[in-house]
Amino acid sequence: MGIDKVKCAQDCAKETFKGEKIMGLLEGKVAIITGSGRGVGRAEALAMAKEGAKVVINDLGGSLDGRGERSMVADQVVAEITAMGGQAASDYSDVGTLEGVDNMIWKALSKFGRLDIMVHNAGVLRDKMLLNMEEDDWDFVQKVHSKGSFLCTRAAGRVMRTQGQGGVIMNTTSMSGLMGNFGQANYSFAKAGMYGFTKTAAAELGRYGIRVHAICPNAYTRMTANLPALKGITEEMLDPATMAPLVVFLASDLAKNLNGRVLLAHGGTIGVKVTEFKMAMAKGFNKKDGLPTAQDIADHIDQVLIPDPDLEMMAALKFD
């Protein structure tokens, strides 16, 4: 997306912001939320609209694995936002392609004149045991999650840098990536990479006042409904709307001093928990006189390893 094209779109839509009354935390802001036709993305879009943001609802409307017929689920969310007095526009672009992301960015700029918030929430699943996984199952999941996050972050970052007023970008990770999950090697690979990608993007874009975070929903949606760890859990217990307040917070000036965070929200009728994920490192074994031998490492393995067990899904769901 070139600078001239950005400026043209902003000039063409500058009348949009005249005469508006300041009301919400995101009043005057323009947001793109990918994958916002259903579930967590829809809840995020509705919450942002209620806080005054103008929202581009991006969703291909495809099946969970990216195959099959598509539906205009984006239009339904736009209708909901319009009915409550907000402003929104539908977009059906493929976020795993450069052309699709450029078209989506152009939709925001031509319709609303600017871009302040990008939330990349689009996702697909092609779960299969690692030894039985087809190459296409691996590549397609990386296209939507990994490449999609890269393309969306780069495109949004370029526009926000040109505008010169900062912005907020949120990539979506998953507990499957942060902890691992049986049968999801492709998905967990992509979502684990979101951690390092977010930290790097935050460091690079922070100089322009652009804050980059990774958000980790833990909700009952069509993407999680069949996970063994959520057996017996209902949508009311893990409500997709639980993520929305955290996203609004990060997008607003309330979080203007935060950057590069990986934050989780989950809950519903069982309560709501908001927390941060960080890497942990053991004290380690230090040898000052030459290289440690294999036997040295074996003899000091208690110092090398972290004594606490890896975080497990059900442990993360507990409320203190």
Q: What is the pLDDT of residues 250-278, one digit of tens each?
A: 999 999 999 999 998 877 666 778 889 98
Lowest mean pLDDT among 88-97, 113-122, 177-186: 177-186
pTM of the model: 0.85
Residue 275's DSSP bridge partners are: 264
User: Quick one: which H or E segment has residue 204?
Assistant: helix 185-205
Nearest Cα residue to 199 out of 254, 154, 262, 147: 262
172 contacts 123 by C-beta, under 8 angstroms: yes
Decide: 20 and 214 in contact? Cβ < 8 Å.
no
Report yes or no: 51 and 254 within 8 Å, Cβ to Cβ.
Answer: no
Instruction: Compute CA distances 141 → 128, 166, 196, whole Å.
Output: 12, 30, 18
**Residue entry with tokens 């691996």:** 138
Helix residue ranges, H only, 71-184: 73-83, 98-112, 135-142, 148-163, 175-179
Where in the chain are the domains?
Answer: 3-279, 282-320
Can 187 be counted among the known catalytic residues?
Answer: yes
Residues across the chain:
320
Tell me the per-residue pLDDT of 64-76, one tens digit each, with 9 for 90 and over.
Answer: 555 655 668 999 9
| Residue among 187, 195, 208, 220 flagged as catalytic | 187
**What pLDDT does residue 1 have?**
53
| 206-247 confidence digits (pLDDT tens) | 999 999 999 988 754 444 445 555 555 545 555 778 889 999
**Top-confidence residue, 68 or 195:** 195
Q: CB-based burial of residue 239 (10 Å sphere; 0-12 exposed, 13-18 middle, 19+ buried)?
A: buried
Hey, how many other C-beta atoms are within 10 angstroms of the C-beta on 255?
17
Q: What's the whole-number mean pLDDT along residues 7-29?
A: 55
Amino acid 286 reads N
For residues 39 and 125, the answer to whether their CB atoms sit within 8 Å is no
Share the mean pLDDT of the chain.
Answer: 84
Span 3-279 CATH architecture: 3-Layer(aba) Sandwich (3.40)
